Amino acid sequence: MPQSTDANLASITGPHCEDKMQYLLVIFVTVFLAELGDKTQLATLLFAAERQQHPFLIFLAAACALIAATAVAVALGTLAERYLSMVPLKLIAGLGFIAIGIWTLWDHFSVA
């Protein structure tokens, strides 16, 4: 039987509410910093610079797109956790980022 609304509310505002708020802040700051200068932000900047649409419309469309992309990422992450719980995903992701960094540096210095 699903939890009642009161039980759901208690899980949000319960004794661990401060921990949850701290976790929410960590997620927000991490994603915010990761998005700064990202190609999504640059594309949005270019749409705004064209001045063909009202800035609020551009903001609304970009915000909705980010919400949809985040929903897909959360859904895929939840599914991946079910099937890949034994695979060290953080290690694999970290090694992938390091490899991309090395590749970028290699490409920069080999051209120069």
What's the average model confidence in pLDDT over 86-94?
A: 81
Query: How far is the CA of 81 from the CAs of 48, 59, 67, 97, in angstroms?
Result: 38, 32, 21, 20
What's the average model confidence in pLDDT over 74-84?
A: 82
Task: Return the pLDDT at 112.
Answer: 56
> For residues 8 and 16, is the Cβ–Cβ distance under 8 A?
no
The number of helix segments (H) and strand segments (E) in the chain equals 5, 0
Task: Return the pLDDT at 65.
Answer: 92
Q: What is the mean pLDDT of the chain?
A: 82
The span from the CA of 80 to the CA of 83, in Å, is 5
pLDDT greater than 60 at residue 89: yes
Nearest CA to 66 out of 48, 44, 47, 81 is that of 44
Task: Return the pLDDT at 14.
Answer: 59
Least confident window among 37-46, 56-65, 83-92: 83-92
